Structure 1
Amino acid sequence: MQALNLPAARGWRWLGAGYALFRRNPAILSLLLLTYWMLLALVGSLPFIGSLITYLAMPALSLVLMNACRVLDRGLAVTPQSLSTGIRPQAPVLVGLGGLYLCGTLLILGLASLVDGGDLFRLMFIGGDHGDLPADNPEFLLATQLALLLVVPLVMAFWFAPMLAAWHRQGAGKALFFSFFACLRNWRPFLTYSLSILLWSGLVPALAMGLLGMILGPGMAAAIVMVPLILVLAPSLVASFYVSYREVFVEGAPAFATTVGDEEGPEEGGGDGDHA
């Protein structure tokens, strides 16, 4: 498996490319994303084991979204078979990835607990009261900053891992390895990608909400801004996750196929660029 080394400017275009992919079938991507959120919320609400099941199932559920983006990118119809591509044969690996992500999250929160006495852990897993955690609590703020710093390599290791496991038949360790170093080699485009997300999901909505709030009131302004954020930006963001995979590992125009199924072999990266 080889990962291309892309210039920084490429990451700036990933969100726009995700929006273009979303426009191919807005209804299906929006519906799948809403279903994904609902399933995670329902399972997560189960007492005692809800959080565990959520983490274990998250790689497979997220892969359903990536399969939909992959099919739309190839100009094919989204079918139940295409949505499940790679999940059944690699189910143990995907569940293992979820378990490893849970262990990594617990380790990070455990280290943060050394700073704040476990406040962040309780907030994340037990549902602590936000009122008990004032914004000016220095220990809690320091623990949050520490957790955000430590979660970056964790996210890098898992960014491409479900796709590499399902579509390239890699084991958990190999998928995590290639995902981490692919992200590391492409830290520049990922940095500009992050800035693009911050612009369109943070600064632009805040500005629009402020301007509309002066005219329509804060409640109406929030409602008007949140609708496109949920129905357009969120699925476009999900599609941009796939775009980052396609450009890092499979640069160039996608290879069109007549079917997409578990019988597919591993794809090979191609196109111009430096290789890892």
Structure 2
Amino acid sequence: MQALTLNTAHGWRWLTEGFRIFRKNHLMLTFLVVSYWMLMAIVNVIPMIGTVVTTLCIPAFSVSLMNACRNIDKGGPLGPQTLFSGFQKNLRALITLGAIYLAATVGILAVSSLADDGALMRLMLAGHKPDEAVLASGELMRALQVALILLCPLIMAYWYAPILASWHGLSPGKALFFSFVACARNWRAFLVYSLAIVVAATVLPGLLLGTLAALLPDGAALLTVLLTVVLILILAPTLFASFYVSYRDVFVSSDTASDA
């Protein structure tokens, strides 16, 4: 296995290829994504324990959705049972990745608490809304900025780690390391990829909703709700598919790399 360094244009290609995969089996992929969201929401209702359980299981569910995208891409079978396929291989490594991510996130929130006396940490972990004084002082925003800066390397290390641990049998440490290196090598492509997501998720929908609101002012509110739901049901599965496409483009087997 080898991580390639791709050109900048691949960032846009990941999103367009993700949409192509979505179109090949949009109903089932949307069903799996919505089922995943609902299951996470139900478990998250349990105070404290729900957050821990969902975080530990996210890597396995991520692999499940990547399995679905790979099956669609390669013409393999796809059904509701695919949602739990990520739990069938190297589960211990995936649970460990979830635990590492949870511990690292708590650590980052603890560091950010130096800026707002723990308001952001209490909001994220326990759902406690910050006081008006904290919001007015700007302390929460400073803590959020600190957290986002520290989260960037964590997200880079975590981006491909579940797939590397499940599909390639890497240990959690190696999976995190190779994921970070792959993201660092392809930061230009990821920058374009991020910009493409912003355009597809905010700019274009905003223009469309604004135009419809101007043309049909009486039904603007209802149209906004309906179109927002439709866009989410299209964009979310497309994004999951684009995650798979980025992995497919960045990582190749050693034999394939030698032939190339």
User: TM-score by structure 1 length?
Assistant: 0.87
Partner of 1:264: none
Amino acid at match of 2:71: V
Partner of 2:73: 73
Deviation at 1:215, TM superposition (A): 3.0
Paired with 1:82 and 1:220, the residues of 2 have a C-alpha distance of 34
Please identify runs of 4+ aligned residues in structure 1 that moved more than 6 A: none
Indicate the SS of the match to 1:109.
helix
CA RMSD, 1 decimal: 2.2
Compare the two structures and name the one with the higher helix fraction.
2
Deviation at 1:270, TM superposition (A): 3.1
Partner of 2:244: 242
Is 1:58 matched with 2:52? no
Paired with 2:258 and 2:46, the residues of 1 have a C-alpha distance of 48
The verdict on how the C-alpha distance between 1:271 and 1:21 changes in structure 2, with shifts beyond 3 A counting, is: farther
Is 1:140 matched with 2:140? yes
Deviation at 1:131, TM superposition (A): 6.9
Gaps of 5+ in 2: none
Question: Share of identical aligned residues, percent?
Answer: 47
Amino acid at match of 1:87: F
User: TM-score by structure 2 length?
Assistant: 0.92
Amino acid at match of 2:216: L
Aligned pairs, number: 258
Deviation at 1:75, TM superposition (A): 1.3
Please say if residues 61 and 86 of structure 2, whose CA atoms lie closer than 8 Å, have aligned partners that are also in contact: no
Indicate the SS of the match to 1:5.
coil
Deviation at 1:102, TM superposition (A): 0.3
Please say if residues 213 and 220 of structure 1, whose CA atoms lie closer than 8 Å, have aligned partners that are also in contact: no
Deviations, residues 93-121 of structure 1 (Å, cap 9, x unaligned) = 00000000001111111111000111111
Please say if residues 48 and 125 of structure 2, whose CA atoms lie closer than 8 Å, have aligned partners that are also in contact: no
Please say if residues 67 and 82 of structure 1, whose CA atoms lie closer than 8 Å, have aligned partners that are also in contact: yes
Deviation at 1:196, TM superposition (A): 0.2
Question: 72-81 or 172-181: which moved more?
Answer: 72-81
Partner of 1:270: 256
Gaps of 5+ in 1: 251-266
Partner of 1:151: 151
Paired with 1:130 and 1:273, the residues of 2 have a C-alpha distance of 57
Deviation at 1:130, TM superposition (A): 6.2
